[in-house]
């Protein structure tokens, strides 16, 4: 009996589906379903629905957004979390297809490119009152017009392992302040043994190299472009000296990618490295027993140069075609307000507020490690806001790679990069 | 007639998605390869003829990327195929725990390649397992991915590890389809292991070999994720492959037209290889029969 039914089942189904009426019914049902789904997707609600794309994990950003919605009844924020791996592509795709968000977080080096292509809203007049109290406006500016609001900024500082300092006979409370002291410390720690390295030198990941080398160049007066961004000044004597010095660290270095260096530092095998604020979050949770300190990036000599570092800011932008610009700017102001931006930075740790005088905030007064980052930001240098930065960056990274792998001398590598950069910036289309 | 219509109705989801996600992008990128197109400025699009192609052919980096891709394909495909074939022959014997081996070799194919790449990045690190192994054997440890001389080789080794299991299973399926009478006859005729392998197994399994080699070649020419996760083309462009190169041009420099031209050049290369392989391996089969 059971067997019979099993045989009959498919037979019956086949016959029924073969009948035209049922097929037609099925396709109509299918169409109806699709229609309903599409309509549900664009269902209208009262009040503004603000789309906001950003890079922070939900637990960090959602509390702030909830506050905003409470303070602004009628405005609903639809948030999307992007990743640094593919967020850029997603934004480009959205802009080119006209589905851009109302408010978007952008890495500062992307702003000039987007601005030059005319997709960002010019908000110069809307942010006049903010200019006094925030940092890094240059990174959001192209040809005198402002296209973004600085939100948070990240920089790199010198991390050092206190235990290794002690083992090498160094005072763990006195981090190196100058190039000479840096190489001396690294040298002594490197001599401790086979599994211990003096300094962590980034290699193999070209997108990062300039962030680690340029501090030495900037700090001794070198630069990438002239102030008007029209010419390359990359093969200057200051840059050559800095690259010579940087390469001299190689003999006492572990040459690796950033995550490997961070790992080696956590394992206590690395004496010094220049790294970012994310370590302040990961070290206490992964290796709470590690005794480490942070310090400003060393300068050329006690009486020469300054403690430069790399500064990368994240800014809030709206697009020319965004629908709710007014509400978007309102949200932006809410996000950058002192209380909110500090609370975001407290939980993220990898960034600091792009806010003047943040080091005097009670939170940073009581958190000396994070305070070093805030102070470092004061003398950190952002990359030049040129629309073709990606290509300039590649030329710089190639030069650093060639020098640290000894393919070319620092002079030749910089001269070649200088020619490439000059070609890029003198090109008509930017 | 009615039957045709219902067939179409049932196929329509596939046909529609194939059209939207395969045919359209394919044609669109063909059009793109003849224009200059910045996705942020769709209004500035203009026809540039073959200049995208000539630019690619005169860019030394394009050739570097193509050379690295060739090294990758030439290094991984034969090794993977040979390993997969002999493993399949081995686990096709009556050995204990056969299914354990079978699933064991297949496991890497189930893991996401991103996960594998991240794990291998740690294995290749200076304090990683690979160096520990090398040092315990008396060798000198090194930075496998950080050294331009070993970076591509290291990724190739990982790729072989990650993909041979899949092809082993394909070969195994092919082996089990060979009629056992052939082997019995061979045994009666006094054929040894190598002769049986050479005169029965290899010719009988040629269709599978063809499939494995062609598919693996196509896949290897498109090597991207491993590069993206592990080295991003560095150090010193030693792991810059064609797809990573075109990705960089398209999504970091907004040169969609140029990147499409590079993609089509790669397409031509892959097509040529596939046609040659099919022709060569098929002819071989006809001669064997």
Rounded CA-CA distance A135/A150 in Å is 7
b (16+ CB within 10 A) / e for A387-410: bbbbbbbbbbbbbbbbbbbeebeb
Q: What pLDDT does residue A43 have?
A: 43
Q: What pLDDT does residue A33 have?
A: 63
Q: Collect all residues of chain B within an 8 Å Cβ-Cβ radius of residue A18.
A: 2-3, 6
Judge contact between B92 and B172, C-beta under 8 A: yes
For chain A, say whether B141 makes contact (Cβ under 8 Å): no
Is residue A239 situated within a structural domain? Answer: yes
For chain A, say whether B107 makes contact (Cβ under 8 Å): no
Closest by Cα among A134, A69, A62, A75 to A338: A134
Rounded CA-CA distance B130/B123 in Å is 6
**Residue B27 burial class via C-beta count within 10 angstroms: exposed 0-12, middle 13-18, buried 19 and up:** exposed
Residues A109 and A190 in one domain: no
Q: Are B143 and A255 in contact (CB < 8 Å)?
A: yes
Q: What is the CATH number of domain B53-288?
A: 1.10.3720.10
Cis amide prior to B235 (ω within 30 degrees): yes
Residues A256 and A351 in one domain: no
A74 — alpha (psi -120 to 50), left (phi > 0) or beta? left
From the list B40, B232, B235, which residue is nearest A96 (CB)?
B40
Rounded CA-CA distance A373/A114 in Å is 29
Q: What pLDDT does residue A34 have?
A: 62
Query: Which whole-number Å values give the CA distances from B221 to A35, A87, B266, in the listed order?
Result: 41, 26, 8
pLDDT digits (tens, 9 = 90+) for A153-210: 999 999 999 999 999 999 999 999 999 999 999 999 999 988 899 999 998 777 789 9
Rounded CA-CA distance A185/A161 in Å is 11
Residues A337 and A416 in one domain: no
Query: Which whole-number Å values give the CA distances from B232 to A91, A200, B74, B226, B240, in the listed order?
Result: 21, 20, 21, 9, 7
pLDDT digits (tens, 9 = 90+) for B227-243: 998 888 878 889 999 99
Residues A316 and A187 in one domain: no
Residues A120 and A261 in one domain: no
The answer to whether residue A17 scores a pLDDT higher than 50 is: no
Give the CATH number of the domain where residue A241 resides: 3.40.190.10
For chain A, say whether B253 makes contact (Cβ under 8 Å): yes
Q: What pLDDT does residue B116 have?
A: 94
Closest by Cα among B144, B143, B152, B151 to B68: B152
* Cβ within 8 Å of residue A414, ≥6 positions away: A234, A235, A239, A240, A243, A399, A403
Structure letter (DSSP) for residue A138: G
Rounded CA-CA distance A306/B256 in Å is 42
pLDDT digits (tens, 9 = 90+) for B73-121: 999 999 999 999 999 998 888 888 888 888 888 888 889 999 999 999 8
Rounded CA-CA distance A157/A165 in Å is 17
- Per-residue pLDDT band for A301 (boundaries 50, 70, 90) equals very high
pLDDT digits (tens, 9 = 90+) for B125-162: 877 889 889 988 988 888 888 888 999 999 999 999 99
pLDDT digits (tens, 9 = 90+) for A222-240: 999 999 999 999 999 999 9
Judge contact between A332 and A343, C-beta under 8 A: no
- Per-residue pLDDT band for A276 (boundaries 50, 70, 90) equals very high
The answer to whether residue B252 scores a pLDDT higher than 90 is: no
- Per-residue pLDDT band for B289 (boundaries 50, 70, 90) equals very low
Judge contact between B279 and B70, C-beta under 8 A: no
Residues A218 and A290 in one domain: yes
> What value does the mean pLDDT of chain A take?
88
Is residue A180 situated within a structural domain? Answer: yes
Judge contact between A297 and A157, C-beta under 8 A: yes
Q: What pLDDT does residue A14 have?
A: 45
Please report where in the chains the tokens 């950190």 appear, as a residue. Answer: A380
Pairing of strands A141-142, A103-107: unpaired
From the list A23, A114, A195, which residue is nearest B6 (CB)?
A23
Taking an 8 Å Cβ-Cβ cutoff, which residues of chain A contact chain B? Answer: 17-18, 20, 23, 26-27, 88-89, 92-93, 95-96, 113-114, 117-119, 195, 203-207, 254-257, 259-260, 263-264, 267, 269, 390-391, 401-402, 405, 407
Report residue A352: phi and psi, to 5°. Answer: -125, 160
pLDDT digits (tens, 9 = 90+) for A56-114: 999 899 999 999 999 998 889 999 999 987 888 899 889 888 899 999 999 998 999 89
Number of domains in chain A: 2
Asked if this assembly's ipTM is beyond 0.90, the reply is: no
Judge contact between A137 and A146, C-beta under 8 A: yes
Q: What pLDDT does residue A19 have?
A: 47
Give which of B252, B253, B256, B257 to mutate to test A binding, by max A Cβ within 10 Å: B252
Rounded CA-CA distance B156/B220 in Å is 10
The answer to whether residue A44 scores a pLDDT higher than 70 is: no
Rounded CA-CA distance A200/A272 in Å is 6
- How distant is the Cα of A371 from the closest Cα of chain B, in angstroms? 32
Q: Where is average pLDDT lowest: A10-24, A352-366, B234-248? A: A10-24
Q: Which residues pair with A161 in a beta bridge?
A: A292
Is residue A268 situated within a structural domain? Answer: yes
Give which of B2, B6, B114 to mutate to test A binding, by max A Cβ within 10 Å: B6
Q: What pLDDT does residue A39 have?
A: 52
Residues A149 and A166 in one domain: no
Query: Which whole-number Å values give the CA distances from A110 to A61, A209, B47, B179, B251, in the listed order?
Result: 22, 18, 27, 63, 12
Rounded CA-CA distance A231/A386 in Å is 11
Is residue A22 situated within a structural domain? Answer: no
Q: What pLDDT does residue A121 have?
A: 94
Q: What pLDDT does residue A208 have?
A: 87
Residues A299 and A415 in one domain: yes
Q: What is the mean pLDDT of residues A337-363?
A: 90
pLDDT digits (tens, 9 = 90+) for B254-286: 888 999 999 999 999 999 999 998 888 775 554
pLDDT digits (tens, 9 = 90+) for B192-206: 888 888 888 999 999
- Per-residue pLDDT band for A7 (boundaries 50, 70, 90) equals very low
Is residue A28 situated within a structural domain? Answer: no
Q: Collect all residues of chain B within an 8 Å Cβ-Cβ radius of residue A23.
A: 2, 5-6, 9
For chain A, say whether B252 makes contact (Cβ under 8 Å): yes
The answer to whether residue A9 scores a pLDDT higher than 80 is: no
Q: What is the mean pLDDT of residues B217-232?
A: 92
Is residue A10 situated within a structural domain? Answer: no
Residues A211 and A288 in one domain: yes
Whether the model clears a pTM of 0.95, i.e. scores above it, the answer is no
Q: What is the mean pLDDT of residues A368-383?
A: 93
Residues A78 and A204 in one domain: no
Q: Which residues pair with A104 in a beta bridge?
A: A53, A317
Residues A213 and A119 in one domain: no
Residues A322 and A248 in one domain: no
Q: What pLDDT does residue A315 have?
A: 95
Which tokens belong to A113? 């490119």
**Domain span at A366:** 48-154+312-378
Q: What pLDDT does residue B120 have?
A: 92
Q: What percent of chain A has pLDDT above 90?
A: 70
Q: What share of chain A is helix, strand, coil (3-state, %, to 5)?
A: 50, 20, 30
Q: What pLDDT does residue A10 have?
A: 44
Is residue A30 situated within a structural domain? Answer: no
Rounded CA-CA distance B228/B232 in Å is 5
Judge contact between B273 and B96, C-beta under 8 A: no
The length of chain B in residues reads 289
Q: What pLDDT does residue B40 have?
A: 83
Higher-pLDDT residue of B239 and B44 is B239
Judge contact between B144 and B154, C-beta under 8 A: yes
């Amino acid at each position: 009996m059971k067997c019979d039914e099993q045989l009959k089942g498919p037979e019956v189904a086949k016959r029924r589906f073969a009948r035209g009426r049922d097929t037609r019914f099925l396709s109509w049902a299918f169409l109806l379903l699709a229609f309903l789904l599409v309509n549900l997707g664009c269902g209208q609600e009262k009040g503004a629905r603000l789309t906001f794309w950003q890079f922070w994990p939900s637990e960090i950003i959602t509390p702030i957004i909830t506050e905003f919605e409470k303070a602004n009844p009628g405005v609903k924020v639809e948030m999307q979390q992007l990743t640094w791996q593919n967020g850029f592509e997603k934004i480009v795709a959205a802009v080119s297809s006209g589905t851009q968000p109302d408010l978007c977080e952008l890495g500062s080096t992307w702003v000039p490119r987007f601005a030059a292509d005319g997709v960002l809203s010019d908000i110069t007049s809307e942010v006049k009152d903010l200019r006094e109290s925030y940092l890094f406006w240059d990174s959001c500016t192209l040809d005198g017009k402002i296209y973004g609001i600085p939100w948070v900024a990240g920089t790199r500082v010198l991390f050092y392992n206190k235990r290794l300092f002690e083992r090498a006979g160094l005072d763990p409370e006195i981090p190196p302040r100058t190039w000479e002291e840096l190489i001396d410390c690294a040298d002594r720690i490197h001599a401790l043994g086979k599994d211990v390295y003096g300094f962590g030198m980034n290699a193999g990941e070209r997108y990062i190299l300039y962030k680690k080398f340029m501090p030495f160049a900037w700090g001794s007066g070198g630069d990438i472009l002239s102030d008007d961004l029209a010419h390359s000044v990359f093969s200057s004597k200051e840059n050559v000296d800095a690259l010579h010095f940087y390469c001299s660290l190689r003999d006492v270095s572990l040459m690796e990618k950033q995550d490997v260096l961070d790992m080696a530092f956590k394992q206590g095998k690395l004496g010094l490295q220049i790294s970012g604020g994310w370590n302040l979050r990961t070290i206490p949770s992964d290796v709470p027993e590690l005794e480490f300190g942070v310090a400003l990036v060393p300068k050329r000599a006690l009486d020469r140069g300054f403690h430069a570092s790399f500064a990368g800011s994240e800014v809030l932008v709206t697009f020319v075609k965004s629908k709710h610009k007014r509400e978007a700017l309102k949200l932006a102001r809410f996000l950058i307000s002192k209380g909110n931006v500090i609370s975001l930075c407290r939980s993220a740790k990898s960034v600091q507020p792009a806010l003047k005088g943040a080091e005097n905030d009670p939170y940073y007064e009581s958190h000396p490690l994070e305070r070093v980052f805030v102070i470092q930001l004061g003398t950190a240098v952002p990359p030049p806001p040129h629309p073709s930065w990606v290509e300039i960056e590649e030329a710089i990274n190639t030069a650093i790679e060639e020098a640290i792998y000894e393919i070319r001398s620092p002079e030749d590598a910089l001269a070649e990069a200088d020619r490439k950069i000059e070609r890029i910036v003198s090109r008509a289309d930017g | 007639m009615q039957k045709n219509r219902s067939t179409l109705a049932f196929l329509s989801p596939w046909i529609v998605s194939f059209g939207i996600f395969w045919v359209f992008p394919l044609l669109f990128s063909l059009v793109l390869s003849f224009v200059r197109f910045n996705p942020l400025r769709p209004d500035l699009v203009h026809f540039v003829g073959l200049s995208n192609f000539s630019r690619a052919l005169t860019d030394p980096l394009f050739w570097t990327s193509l050379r690295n891709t060739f090294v990758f394909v030439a290094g991984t495909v034969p090794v993977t195929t040979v390993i997969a074939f002999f493993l399949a022959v081995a686990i096709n014997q009556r050995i204990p725990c056969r299914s354990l081996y079978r699933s064991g070799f297949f496991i890497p194919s189930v893991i996401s390649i991103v996960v594998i790449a991240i794990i291998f990045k740690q294995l290749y690190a200076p304090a990683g397992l690979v160096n520990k192994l090398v040092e315990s054997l008396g060798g000198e440890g090194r930075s496998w991915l950080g050294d331009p001389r070993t970076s591509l080789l290291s990724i190739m080794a990982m790729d072989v590890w990650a993909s041979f299991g899949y092809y082993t299973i394909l070969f195994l399926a092919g082996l089990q389809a060979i009629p056992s009478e052939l082997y019995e006859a061979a045994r009666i005729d006094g054929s040894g292991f190598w002769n049986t392998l050479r005169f029965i197994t290899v010719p009988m399994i040629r269709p599978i070999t063809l499939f494995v080699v062609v598919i693996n070649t196509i896949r290897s020419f498109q090597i991207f994720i491993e590069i993206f996760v592990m080295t991003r083309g560095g150090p010193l462009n030693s792991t810059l492959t064609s797809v990573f190169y075109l990705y960089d041009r398209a999504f970091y420099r907004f040169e969609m037209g140029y990147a499409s031209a590079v993609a089509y050049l790669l397409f031509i290369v892959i097509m040529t290889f596939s046609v040659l392989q099919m022709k060569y391996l098929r002819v071989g089969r006809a001669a064997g029969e």
